[in-house]
Amino acid sequence: MIYPTRSLVIGLLTLATGLAATGLAATGPTATGPTATGLAAAEAEPEKYTLRYRFHPGETLRWEVVHRSIVDTTIAKTTRTVEALSKSIKAWRVRVVGPDGTASFEHLVESVDMRQKMTGQQEVRYNSLTDKQPPPGFKDVAESVGVPLAIIAMSNRGKILKREQKQVKAAAQSKGQMTIPLPDEPVPVGHTWSFSQDVPVKLSTGGIKSIRVRQTFKLQSVKTGVATIAVANQILTPIDDPKIESQLIQRESSGTVRFDVDAGRILSQQMDVDKQVVGFHTGASTIKYFTRFTERLLPTTTRTASRPADKRG
């Protein structure tokens, strides 16, 4: 059975994104005479953009992250609803940037404000800025706030080259992608690229099965220095077992990313999941899952008003 728990909430805290694109060119004037055909052909070539992440040593990038979810689980005509809301400030502290654009940075969460309510129970809340002691179920979250979760070395195209985990409890949630991968070559508007990975799921027999998942990206537009990228996820491995399908429900998100072309970082993004799985449990059962994840880049001068002290030893 799937319910949002502290592991889900911690997973929200370790999410990380950032990307960039460069390259704008002017269109030449209309030509006449013998060279008109050649110029017309040149003008017909679509403009291409080189997408790259860009960082600077010593800078700290911060994003405001909001995650909302509603999960309705029905088993034997009994429905249980779990509603969760998490707001956090995610930060990347850039340490070193190499000549090829490879960056090393600390990934951490500076503050979190979250709440969760289940059917028949009182709402549980935790705010790292105001609560001295976390309520039951939020201890791991509290211990992960204000401390480096990992040291990441990442290429300027988003490939993780090295990962040094600092928080053991957060390791499982931070082993995946830190951000979306970027194409190696310059691409025009309309170009698509993809990233595939194997996701382990538990079988009813107790074994583990790998499911192939593909994330597809499309450069939709570049306007006034802001690029828009559409993101969609697809399960490639054929699945005929609702129990397996229910474990992958969070993987089937889709949405849009906006990023600054010159600065090379995410401006904002929104990812949504709205899906239902029938028969995931013995007997008559249904799980309805809705979630919305949003992220917004904060100005470089913005800091959390009552930011907790860095708890590094």
Burial label for 295, CB within 10 Å (0-12, 13-18, 19+), is: buried
Determine contact, residues 123/115, Cβ cutoff 8 Å: yes
Measure the CA–CA gap between 62 and 296, rounded to whole angstroms. 9
pLDDT at 176: 65
When pLDDT is cut at 50, 70 and 90, the band that residue 37 belongs to is: low
pTM: 0.80
Residue 199: both structure tokens together: 């996701």
So where are the chain's domains? 6-22+49-297
Q: pLDDT tens digit string along 176-234?
A: 678 988 889 999 999 999 999 999 999 988 899 999 999 999 999 999 989 999 999 99
pLDDT at 300: 80
- What's domain 6-22+49-297's architecture? Roll (2.30)
Q: Which of 1-5, 79-83, 87-91 has the lowest mean pLDDT?
A: 1-5
Q: Is the confidence at residue 1, as pLDDT, over 90?
A: no
Q: Is 58 left (phi over 0), alpha (psi -120 to 50) or beta?
A: left
Burial label for 132, CB within 10 Å (0-12, 13-18, 19+), is: exposed
C-alpha distance from residue 75 to each of 185, 202, 245 (Å): 50, 20, 16
Residue 209: both structure tokens together: 């099965």
pLDDT at 104: 98
Q: pLDDT tens digit string along 95-141?
A: 999 999 999 999 999 999 999 999 999 999 999 999 999 998 899 99
Please report which helix (H) or strand (E) contains residue 13, including its range: helix 6-13
pLDDT at 48: 92
pLDDT at 281: 87
Pairing label, strands 285-297, 226-235? unpaired
Burial label for 236, CB within 10 Å (0-12, 13-18, 19+), is: exposed
Please report which helix (H) or strand (E) contains residue 244, including its range: helix 242-247
